[in-house]
Amino acid sequence: MNGRVNEARLRVLAVDDVAPALAELTRLLAASRCVEEVVPAGDALTALKLLQAGRFDAAFLDISMPGMDGLELASLLSRMTDPPEIVFVTAFEEHAVSAYGVGALDYLLKPVAAERLDATLARVLRVARAADPAPPAPAVDELAAVSVELGGRTRYVRRDDVRFAEAQGDYVRLYTRGGSHLVRMPISRLEEYWSGAGYVRVHRSFLLAVHAVQELRSDTSGGLLAHTDAGDVPVSRRHARELRERLLEAATRGDFSPGRPR
């Protein structure tokens, strides 16, 4: 690289859910003279939060990650006003077509050679120098749709269509008006993604969309049920007060009309 290229250096994000792989990628990036700072992230949610907090020139993403994979994360990043350049780092060559389909700048196969990585970073640096300064990126809507594998095909379930979610071991079942869908993700992680979008934990096994509640009912044993057009959801005693308060706030803001299906 010439002297002028070395005057500007990159801030990059490294994302991989496998700790040793993330450590190795971070080490390789930090060793490059093109890079000023490397910030590691062990999952897509952490990466999204880091991207909201500050600007990155490039994001180096693993593809196979639980919850939200690298392709889905890249699709979200592409909607930002000033997105980072996307570079996929994966052991699976068959993902290349999909990677370039979401606008990736480059695609690196593991194990990554330092020379190959430097060539990619030089491309990122040229793009970064050519770009005009831009305002800070807006917040990314975290997991506004969830990918579901069904019969060898991938479909997407919109968050707004999900009335409630039920924990089933390491999986969560999403209930919509038209049926249910099983997703490999713990309910605690889904709650973390969706808590800011009107979804509240009402039971250790259930996450409920406040806007979907049509009424509260008592079951035969005196317990509380939240009725939706996709079924009834049990509400534990420790969560009952919070749910009532959230429903009152939603009604006050006019977020929904009680009893009206959505």
pLDDT at 52: 85
Q: How far apart are CA 51 and CA 48, in angstroms?
A: 5
Instruction: List domains and CATH numbers for the chain.
Output: 3-130 (3.40.50.2300), 159-253 (2.40.50.1020)
pTM: 0.50
Q: What is the pLDDT along the chain (262 residues), one digit of tens a residue?
A: 333 334 468 999 999 999 999 999 999 999 999 999 999 999 999 999 998 889 999 999 998 888 888 888 888 888 888 889 999 998 876 555 454 556 788 888 888 999 999 999 999 988 877 765 555 555 556 678 888 877 777 788 899 999 999 999 989 999 999 999 999 889 998 998 898 889 999 999 999 999 999 999 998 888 899 999 999 999 999 999 999 988 988 777 766 544 444 4
Residue 255 in tokens: 């977020």
* Cα dihedral value 14, 16, 21, 23, nearest 10: 40
Per-residue 3-state assignment (H helix, E strand, C coil) for 114-130: HHHHHHHHHHHHHHHHH
* b/e per residue 184-199 (b: at least 16 CB within 10 A): ebbbebbbebbeebbb
Q: How far apart are CA 18 and CA 43, in angstroms?
A: 9
- Look at the block and give the residue holding tokens 């699709």: 75
Q: How far apart are CA 105 and CA 166, in angstroms?
A: 38
DSSP letter, residue 239: H
CA distances to 167, 213, 261 from 209, rounded to whole Å, are: 15, 7, 13
pLDDT at 100: 52
For the chain, count helices (H), then strands (E).
8, 15
Q: How far apart are CA 20 and CA 5, in angstroms?
A: 31
* Cα dihedral value 210, 211, 215, 219, nearest 10: -40
Q: How far apart are CA 136 and CA 54, in angstroms?
A: 7
- Look at the block and give the residue holding tokens 């889905």: 72
Q: Are 193 and 142 in contact (CB under 8 A)?
A: yes
